Amino acid sequence: MMETVHQSLVNQLSEITINKPTDIKLQPQNGEIMVKKGSGRTKIRKGQTDAEYGSQKQQFHMEGPMLNTKTWLEELDVSKIDPNIKSDRAKLESLTERLYFKRDYVKCLETTKFALELFKDLNHKKIKNEIDELEYLKSSCSKKIETVQ
Amino acid sequence: MTKIEPRNPENNPIRIIERCRKEGRPVFIAGPMVRYSKLPFRSLVREYNTDLVYSPMILAREFVRNEFARLSDFTTNNYDTPLIVQVGTNNVTDLLRFVEMIHPFVDGIGINCGCPIKEQIREGIGAALMSEPDLVSDMVYAVKQKYGDKVCIETKIRIHPDLNETVKFVQKVEKAGVDFITVHGRTKTTRSSQPANFEAIKLMNESVSVPVIANGDCFSLNDAYEIVKKTKVDGVMAVRGILDNPALFAGYEKAPWGCIEKFWEYSTSYGLTYRLLQHHLSCMLDGRIPKELYKEMMDIKTLAQLIDFFDNNFILKRSNEEGFGTGIEIPFKTQRALHI
């Protein structure tokens, strides 16, 4: 019983909703702050400890911001694409679009087929737009290559 | 792997303002737009006489806590300069951490005190800060204390219904060490259909000695010069106007076709979410192509289909083709399309 009550308190502490903001002491040095909800009640946004910030800072210091050069998409190592990560799928999709825009239909078709194969085990209902576009590219590239030949 | 180069001190916004003063002309600025001031658009407007470019507002709280937020909110490259990153924040700690992380990759940092979106105001961000002059001053002071001239800090504000309150506000942030101030000539509840109050901007400019930039109702190069004439400020920021016409500061009345070609090139090489690309193109082409063609464009669901739509209806040159990026009028392919 005590454990259940304790867990419940822990859960509540992640985003406390209170009626009397003056009852709560904030820790502004951690970025903890009180904000208003649409209902007029007050909510505390959790702070960030020095250790948590330190690890974020270190990651950003090591890797830096995302650099998008004019050729970054075409230089992608597609073998490292994880189909379960949305941003990875988006990179591969952007690459197919870039190749299609450049009218490099042979390479676009090859990349599109690779993407369709990579995404085949994913839930297609959840990524319908992505699959629709890849199917469109596959069909359109094939037709354009045939026309040229 | 490409590495980001150190910032060029000549691209510090204050140096740019000084340079423009010497040249006897205002500074031309593309303001921050939620969602739309992404890397391809920033690169585009720099090709058309825009001196300073803002990023969309980035929430400090998310940026310092979440790697995915950083990846989705901030992409850049070595040509993405001069750049001011706009930050949405409501406390000194998040701001200092944000500045520490991002300042090596930008030329200036602007605190958003003007965003009227109610979700942000509830969080104490954006225009909510117009009621918190002490907090804004504390934030500016904390950054300047830590970084001095190494970090250029700006505040973008709106005016209050009582202009005396705004005068006190700008004087307070000036005392805290702000490098320059952008004033949007509307209150947080004034609709954009109402004209901007340039008298108020002029008053703010007279109330401080740091440079002031005017924001509101700049839809052409002529507007920019008229605004400077009315307000005597150092520069003009365009937002809605430059979204419709990214070549505004180069004197074009409407987005020239070459600008649309360049936008395609930047968007597909740097990468841009389809809906954002479609929205930009719809702003640039609204009222300039037949309604049924415009509707057809807006109904398209994928970027690949949009490429085909453009190639079927217009002559869209690629960067390796002669004449790329130089056209002015829309080069329709069909007679049908000639009737707007």
Distance in Å, alpha carbon of A105 to nearest chain B alpha carbon: 12
In Å, how far is A75's CA from the nearest CA of chain B?
10
Element (DSSP H or E) covering residue B88: strand B83-88
Q: Are A65 and B75 in contact, with CB atoms under 8 Å apart?
A: yes
pLDDT of residue B11: 98
| pLDDT over threshold 60, residue A3 | no
What is the per-residue pLDDT for A29?
A: 82
- Map out the domains of chain A as residue ranges: 2-51, 78-148
For residue B179, CA distances in Å to B98, B140, B182, B328 come to 18, 9, 10, 38
Residues B81, B77: Cα–Cα separation, whole Å: 9
List, in sequence order, every residue forming a beta bridge with B52; answer none if it has no partner.
B29
**pLDDT, tens digit, 9 for 90 and up, residues B243-295:** 999 999 999 999 999 999 999 999 999 999 999 999 999 999 999 999 999 99
pLDDT at A17 over 70: no
CB atoms within 10 A of CB A5: 9
Cα A93 from chain centroid? 14
Give chain B's mean pLDDT: 96
The domain spans of chain B are 9-250, 257-338
What is the secondary structure of B48-83 as a DSSP string?
TT--EEEEEEEEHHHHTT-HHHHHHH-EE-TT--SE
H/E element, B180: strand B180-184
Mean pLDDT of B325-335: 92
Lowest mean pLDDT among A46-60, B179-193, B211-225, B324-338: B324-338
Confidence of residue A31 (pLDDT cuts 50, 70, 90): confident
Tell whether B33 is in a known binding site. yes
Q: Residue B253: its pLDDT value, please?
A: 97
Contact between chains at B318 and A102 (C-beta distance less than 8 A): yes
Q: H-type helices in B75-220, by residue range?
A: 92-102, 118-122, 133-147, 163-176, 198-207
Distance, in Å, from the CA atom of B284 to the CA atom of B294, rounded to the nearest integer, reads: 11
Q: Which residues of A touch B102 (CB under 8 A)?
A: 65
Q: Is B1 annotated as a binding residue?
A: no
With cut-offs at 50, 70 and 90, classify the pLDDT of residue B318: very high
Check the annotation: does B184 bind a ligand: yes
* Cβ within 8 Å, pair A73-B269: yes
Q: Is B115 a catalytic residue?
A: yes
Average pLDDT, chain A: 85
CATH 2.40.30.170, domain B9-250, yes or no: no
CB contact under 8 A, A97 and B303: yes
Instruction: Tell me the per-residue pLDDT of A76-105, one tens digit each, with 9 for 90 and over.
Output: 999 999 999 999 999 999 999 999 999 999
B71: chain A residues, CB-CB within 8 Å = 66, 87
| A40: DSSP letter | S
In the predicted structure, residue A57 carries a pLDDT above the cut 90: yes
- B298 annotated to bind ligand: no
Tell me: ipTM over 0.90: yes
Q: Which residues of B290-310 are buried (b: 16+ CB within 10 A; e: fewer)?
A: eeebbeebeebebbbbbbebb
- Contact map slice: A 49-88 vs B, CB within 8 A: 52-53, 56-57, 59-61, 64-73, 87
Q: Does A94 touch chain B (CB under 8 A)?
A: yes
| Mean pLDDT to the nearest integer, B5-33 | 97
Q: What is the pLDDT of residue A24?
A: 59
Query: Which residues face B314 on adjacent strands?
Result: B332
Of B78, B101, B268, the CB nearest to A60: B101
**Are B90 and A133 a contacting pair at CB < 8 A?**
no
What is the interface size between A and B, counted as CB pairs within 8 Å?
126
Distance of CA A137 to the CA centre of its chain: 24
The whole-angstrom separation of Cα B168 and Cα B6 is 37
**Phi and psi at residue B257, in whole multiples of 5°?**
-60, -35
CB-count exposure of residue B28 (10 Å: 0-12, 13-18, 19+): buried
Q: Which residue do the tokens 């703010």 mark?
A: B204
Q: Average of pLDDT values for B10-26?
A: 98
pLDDT at B340: 53
Which chain A residues are within 8 Å of B101, Cβ to Cβ? 56-57, 60-61
- Look at residue A40 and tell me whether its pLDDT is greater than 80: no
Active-site hit among B115, B152, B218, B259: B115
Tell me: pLDDT of A74 over 80.
yes
pLDDT higher than threshold 80 for residue A72? yes
pLDDT of the residue at B339 = 54
> pLDDT, tens digit, for every residue of B107-146?
999 999 999 998 899 999 999 999 999 999 999 999 999 9
Other Cβ atoms closer than 10 A to A21: 13
